[in-house]
């Protein structure tokens, strides 16, 4: 392991790891053409693993632990949004009693949260099946309704896919792992700041904060006012997020980037900064009712998604590609035959 040769941050450690991080960044787009395999690999390897390796090269992040991680733990923690559950064997009797008491008090809430999560996942799985049935009649629906279904479809698929990946990793490696919370009820967001910072795709948020936001903020705050430095750090974070999403979209569709996805994130970042400024200027004197603020935040995100995010996704026929790949997988499961998705016609788009 690199930790054995370069236990602390140094230029040798940095230059030893950065080429690997760059390779991870470009490898999925250059080698994979499948929507599911390519998009997943680009997210886990090209994005998460690359950014975590950069942090590790700088002596930070979850990979930089003491004692050093073994190879299996290092790879799993680098490539997947998981955390290892550890417990200390040396506990005082007082701490044991406190833990037992806490367990008794919280057992009902833990049980409730566990089953509510399962119910939520099953509900989203059912809705995905319902959406697939509705797609057969999308010619009779208003285009905005179809866009809304696609938006919900992407959200449900992302969450269920991340949960499935975590379950597979736990089953294969027989380790006590905990999935990083992927989403936190984004439909309950009361502002853009709440939506992007605390509810939507928290795995990406938790990755971008230490790799982009914190370094940019610590660098700029030396030369300008903290408020302006925070605004620029937010814009830098959304800019990097937009670039990485463009890379994922390129991997999925193999089409020249148009900048629409990047513009979506820059626009949302700029409006988030404007929102923060308005909040500070009114100083909570004219606070909107929660239901109104939720409607405004979600309406803005959805409308900008319709305008800038979904068009390149559909222009590259990612929906058709995903359908044909799913049909090819079902053909393999049912009949044991390997069929290229290129030779399959999706019944939803025939």
pLDDT of residue 90: 41
Over residues 81-132, the pLDDT tens digits come to 877 665 443 444 444 444 444 444 444 444 456 677 788 889 999 999 999 8
Instruction: Give the list of residues 6+ apart from residue 186 with CB closer than 8 angstroms, or none.
Output: 155, 195, 199, 200
SS3 165: helix
Find the helix packing angle between 93-135 and 143-173, rounded to 10°.
140
Q: What is the C-alpha separation between 172 and 168, in angstroms, rounded?
A: 6
Count other Cβ atoms within 10 Å, centred on residue 41: 22
pLDDT of residue 8: 58
pLDDT of residue 169: 78
Which residues is 179 bridged to in the sheet?
82
pLDDT of residue 289: 85
- Where do the domains of the chain lie? 11-82, 113-179, 184-315, 317-349
Over residues 46-75, the pLDDT tens digits come to 898 999 988 888 888 888 877 777 788 888
Over residues 257-269, the pLDDT tens digits come to 899 999 999 999 9
Q: What is the C-alpha separation between 259 and 250, in angstroms, rounded?
A: 11
Q: What is the C-alpha separation between 145 and 124, in angstroms, rounded?
A: 18
Decide if 229 contacts 221 (C-beta within 8 A). Answer: yes
Stated pTM of the model: 0.85
pLDDT of residue 114: 63
pLDDT of residue 5: 53
What percent of the chain lies above the pLDDT cut of 90? 37
pLDDT of residue 9: 57
pLDDT of residue 22: 86
Quote the tokens at residue 107.
């057992």
Which residues is 83 bridged to in the sheet?
178
Three-state SS sequence of 238-272? HHHHHHHHHHHHHHHHCCCCCCHHHHHHHHHHHHH
Q: What is the C-alpha separation between 206 and 220, in angstroms, rounded?
A: 21
Residue segments in the chain with a per-residue pLDDT below the cut of 70? 1-10, 84-114, 174-177, 284-286, 349-350
pLDDT of residue 111: 45
Decide if 322 contacts 161 (C-beta within 8 A). Answer: no
Helix or strand run (H / E) with residue 177: strand 177-179
């Amino acid at each position: 392991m690199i930790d054995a040769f370069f236990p602390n941050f140094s230029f040798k450690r940095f230059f030893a790891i950065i080429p690997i991080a760059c390779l991870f960044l470009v490898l999925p787009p250059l080698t994979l053409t499948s929507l599911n395999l390519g998009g997943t690999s680009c997210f886990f390897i090209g994005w998460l693993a690359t950014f975590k390796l950069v942090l590790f090269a700088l002596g930070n992040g979850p990979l930089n632990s003491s004692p050093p991680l073994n190879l299996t733990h290092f790879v799993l923690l680098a490539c997947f949004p998981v955390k290892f559950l550890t417990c200390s064997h040396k506990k005082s009797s007082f701490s044991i009693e406190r833990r037992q008491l806490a367990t008794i008090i919280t057992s009902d809430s833990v049980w409730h949260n566990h089953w509510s999560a399962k119910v939520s996942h099953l509900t989203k799985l059912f809705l995905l099946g319902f959406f697939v049935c509705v797609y057969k009649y999308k010619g009779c629906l208003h285009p905005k309704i179809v866009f809304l279904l696609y938006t919900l479809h992407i959200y449900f698929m992302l969450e269920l896919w991340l949960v499935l990946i975590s379950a597979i990793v736990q089953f294969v490696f027989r380790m006590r792992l905990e999935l990083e919370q992927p989403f936190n009820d984004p439909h309950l967001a009361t502002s853009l700041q709440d939506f992007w910072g605390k509810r939507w795709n928290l795995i990406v948020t938790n990755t971008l904060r230490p790799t982009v936001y914190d370094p940019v903020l610590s660098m700029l705050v030396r030369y300008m006012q903290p408020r302006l430095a925070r605004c620029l750090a937010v814009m830098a974070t959304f800019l990097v997020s937009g670039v990485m999403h463009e890379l994922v979209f390129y991997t999925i569709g193999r089409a020249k980037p148009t900048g629409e996805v990047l513009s979506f994130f820059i626009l949302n970042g700029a409006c988030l900064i404007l929102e923060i400024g308005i909040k500070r200027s009114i100083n909570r004197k004219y606070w909107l009712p929660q239901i109104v603020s939720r409607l405004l935040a979600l309406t803005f995100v959805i409308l900008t998604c319709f305008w800038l995010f979904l068009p390149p996704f559909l222009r590259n026929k990612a929906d058709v590609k995903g359908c044909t790949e799913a049909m090819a997988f079902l053909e393999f499961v049912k009949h044991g035959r390997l069929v290229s998705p290129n030779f399959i016609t999706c019944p939803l788009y025939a």
